[in-house]
């Protein structure tokens, strides 16, 4: 892939982003409505709202689940205020993981094993209330998020927010507050995409190592600031992924919402580098397995790593980070 093509890919992706922000729906002019902004939190007995704009009386409500974080609505009566859970999941095995091909921004689906991994990940997090889901724009991350949610105890419906145009927004509105309460908004963002692997995309990793040398390929794959030919370094990937995390996801956590992110090996490595304050040296040895969820607690502005939830029938039991085989990073 040449530079021009790579730039086009990124530009297209960025067009998607421009419409991907938090938004408030428009109320159709034909209804004269008494609109109020509800900031109620209702805890327990499965009651919850997203901080909805509601239309009163007998008229139809127009409800947007993705409101600014100040319109807080969180779900769990057990949750202490100003605490929120952050779940990170690298997608399950993709068809190109299976073939050992550099994938990057190529949009490849999961294998059967990847589907099973996503379902297994869902079992592990099935007791953790999820208020919002963020995924990349790539199908392997979206499949993983959706399959994981099929296992969730609360049986809420994850719904992809289509903000790519006014029409997409208008045509995907939901008109029932009760239905909204049973939904989880899913935000897709190209900034969470896998690191763009440039001219390595589609090449076999072993053959590339045979041709260019193991060391060179290791530098392309794991160095912090050296990009593969016409691709992104981890540092470049971090610039967009961590910026998105800070601007869009952290405010949701600050408002007490539990968030799940389904993304990719390198976009998640860059986010973990930020969460765990890893140095550019330390992040080199951070490896993430496919389909293993990782849990952080966000408390008083800090991220506390809690490892991986261990199973659906053991509540919030957690294994320690050092027992968490998917991450071989130095334990700090
Ligand atoms: O090919 C890719 O896109 C990534 C993730 O599968 O590979 P690597 O682990 O080499 O960064």
Summarised one tens digit per residue, pLDDT across range 89-99 is: 999 999 999 99
pLDDT at residue 309, as a whole number:
73
Q: Whose CA is nearest to atom 8 of ligand 1?
A: 221
**Which residues does ligand 1 sit against, CB inside 6 Å?**
97, 102-104, 194, 197, 221, 265-266
Q: Is the ipTM of this complex over 0.90?
A: yes
Predicted TM-score (pTM) of this structure: 0.75
pLDDT (mean) for 30-38: 24
Summarised one tens digit per residue, pLDDT across range 132-160 is: 999 999 999 999 999 999 999 999 999 99
Hey, which residues are catalytic here? Answer: 91, 194
- C-alpha of residue 325 to centroid of ligand 1, in Å: 18
pLDDT (mean) for 178-203: 98
Q: Of 319, 257, 248, which is closest to residue 128 (Cα–Cα)? A: 257
| Top-confidence residue, 26 or 317 | 317
The residues that bridge with 304 in the sheet, in sequence order, are: 297
Residue 227 pLDDT more than 90? yes
Summarised one tens digit per residue, pLDDT across range 242-298 is: 999 999 999 999 999 999 999 999 999 999 999 999 999 999 999 999 999 999 999
Q: Of 115, 89, 117, which is closest to residue 260 (Cα–Cα)? A: 89
Task: Name the pairing type of β-strands 302-307 and 157-160.
Answer: unpaired
pLDDT at residue 82, as a whole number:
76
- C-alpha of residue 266 to centroid of ligand 1, in Å: 7
Please say whether the beta carbons of 295 and 128 come within 8 A: yes
Residue 21 pLDDT more than 60? no
Q: Is 34 exposed, middle or buried (0-12, 13-18, 19+ CB in 10 A)?
A: exposed
Q: Whose CA is nearest to atom 11 of ligand 1?
A: 221
How open is the CA angle 166-169-172, to the nearest 5 degrees? 145
């Amino acid at each position: 892939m040449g530079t021009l093509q790579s730039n086009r890919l990124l530009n297209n992706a960025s067009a998607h982003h421009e419409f991907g922000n938090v938004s408030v729906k428009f109320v159709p002019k034909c209804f004269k409505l008494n609109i109020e902004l509800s900031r109620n939190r209702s805890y327990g007995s499965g009651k919850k709202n997203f901080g909805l704009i509601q239309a009163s009386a007998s008229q139809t409500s127009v409800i947007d689940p993705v409101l600014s974080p100040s319109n807080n609505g969180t779900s769990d009566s057990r949750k202490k205020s100003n605490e929120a859970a952050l779940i990170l999941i690298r997608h399950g095995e993709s068809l190109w993981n299976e073939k050992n091909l550099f994938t990057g921004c190529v949009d490849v689906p999961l294998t059967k094993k990847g589907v099973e991994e996503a379902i297994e990940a869902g079992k592990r997090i099935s007791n953790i209330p999820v208020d919002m889901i963020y995924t990349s724009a790539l199908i392997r991350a979206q499949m993983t998020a959706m399959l994981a949610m099929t296992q969730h105890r609360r049986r809420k419906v994850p719904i992809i927010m289509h903000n790519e145009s006014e029409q997409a927004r208008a045509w995907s509105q939901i008109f029932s507050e009760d239905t909204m309460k049973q939904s989880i908004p899913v935000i897709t963002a190209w900034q969470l995409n896998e690191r763009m692997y440039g001219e390595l995309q589609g090449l076999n990793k072993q053959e590339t190592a045979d041709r260019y040398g193991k060391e060179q390929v290791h530098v392309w794959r794991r160095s912090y600031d050296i990009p593969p030919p016409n691709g992104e370094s981890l540092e470049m990937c971090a610039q967009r992924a961590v910026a998105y995390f800070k601007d869009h996801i952290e405010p949701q956590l600050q408002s007490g919402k539990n968030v799940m992110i389904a993304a990719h090996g390198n976009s998640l490595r860059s986010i973990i580098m930020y969460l765990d304050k890893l140095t550019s040296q330390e992040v080199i040895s951070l490896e993430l397995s496919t389909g293993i969820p990782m849990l952080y607690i966000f408390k008083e502005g800090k991220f506390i790593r809690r490892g991986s939830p261990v199973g659906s029938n053991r509540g919030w039991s957690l294994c320690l980070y050092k027992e968490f085989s998917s991450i071989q990073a130095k334990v700090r």
